[in-house]
């Protein structure tokens, strides 16, 4: 879904909820060019893994020795990390109960 930045300002909470509940990224555009995107926490974590080269996208998808195979397996100060969730309900524009 592509949304102009000016429109995204007015609908920010709705767009965040949409991404959180559907997992569908929202591309923020200016003059038709993608400037940024809203993505799910899972997609962000995957992107961060790729950028830090902990995830090999070659055939087999190997991870360097000593690295966890999945981000959720990395222990944190209070145990394994868990994806964040938003406690809200997505309501498309014009939705009325």
Average pLDDT of span 23-28 = 93
CATH number of residue 17's parent domain: 3.40.1620.10
Q: What is the pTM of this model?
A: 0.53
Q: Mean pLDDT lowest for which of 2-6, 39-43, 88-92? A: 88-92
Q: How far is CA 2 from its chain centroid? A: 15
> Is 83 part of a structural domain of the chain?
no
> Is 79 part of a structural domain of the chain?
no
> Is 25 part of a structural domain of the chain?
yes
Distances (CA, A) of 3 to 17, 47, 95, 97: 15, 21, 19, 25
pLDDT tens readout for residues 61-85: 555 555 555 555 444 455 555 666 6
The H or E element that residue 51 is part of is: helix 41-51
State residue 89's pLDDT score: 62
């Amino acid at each position: 879904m592509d949304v102009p930045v000016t429109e995204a300002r007015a609908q920010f909470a709705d767009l965040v909820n949409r991404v959180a509940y559907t997992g569908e990224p929202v591309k923020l555009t200016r003059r038709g060019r993608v400037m940024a995107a809203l993505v799910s926490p899972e997609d962000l974590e995957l992107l961060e893994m790729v950028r830090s080269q902990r995830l090999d996208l070659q055939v087999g998808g190997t991870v360097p020795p000593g690295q966890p195979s999945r981000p959720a397996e990395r222990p944190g100060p209070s145990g394994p990390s868990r994806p964040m969730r938003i406690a809200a309900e997505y309501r498309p524009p014009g939705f009325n109960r």
